[in-house]
Amino acid sequence: MISIINNPNSTVAYFKQEDYDQRIADGINKRAVEKGGVQTLLQELGYDDFEIGYKATGQPYFLQKPELFLSVSHAKGWFALSVGFEPVGIDIQTFSSRLKQGQDYFRNERELPFSEDEHALHLIWGAKEAFYKLKEGQIPDLKEEVTLISISADELVIDFESEKVQLSYRLLENAFLVFTC
């Protein structure tokens, strides 16, 4: 079942493809399965007739509607995308107990208070990924330049260049969805 979140300047859609693992086990090309999952979301939102191109930064966009912004994410059968009239960023990831071991890769010293909370670590990673996509990769040192400073019931606040930026999130079945508002 596809879930849709309407925001003032964007729309987020996401779902879990229940037969994902079986399709991969059956030998279907992973990239084809991923492309199909994204196409399902685009169809649900009425964008299935638009071709997707990629900017030099890797950011996807609609060839026929370059005035719209698009961000896509997928992880182990979960698919998410955001379409907006302003730049957007989205990240979806499944829970991994190994993330805590690798936290020094993405968590900075200001985020140390979150270091023992596995959910918070996933939200730090998701917030940084979503924000990185919003900025089209134009952040030289993501670990140090973007800092998660607060987590509330469904909102995250990050600090970037002394500016506070709000992101939204959802805790799903076994995944974390983070997106720009």
Model confidence pLDDT, tens digit, residues 28-37: 999 999 999 9
Cα 65 to Cα 23, 53, 62, 164: the distances in Å are: 32, 11, 5, 30
Instruction: Say whether 128 sits in a helix, a strand or coil.
Output: helix
Is residue 177 within 8 Å of 14, Cβ to Cβ?
A: yes
State the Cα–Cα distance between residues 152 and 161, nearest whole angstrom: 22
Nearest Cα residue to 41 out of 69, 63, 70: 70
CA distances from 12 to 8, 15, 81, 127, 136 (A): 11, 11, 6, 15, 18
CA neighbours within 13 Å on the CB side: how many for 44?
21
* Cβ 122 vs Cβ 107: under 8 Å: no
Mean pLDDT of 169-181: 95
Average pLDDT, the chain: 96
1-181: in CATH 3.90.470.20: yes
The predicted model scores a pTM of 0.95
Residue 181's pLDDT is what?
82
What tokens were used for 11? 């729309």
pLDDT computed for residue 13 by the predictor: 98
- pLDDT higher than threshold 90 for residue 116: yes
| Mean pLDDT value across residues 10-35 | 96
Of 136, 141, 139, 138, nearest in space to 55 by CA:
136
> Residue 52's pLDDT band (boundaries 50, 70, 90)?
very high
Burial state string for 135-152 with b = 16 or more CB within 10 A and e = fewer than 16: bbeebeebbebbbbeebe
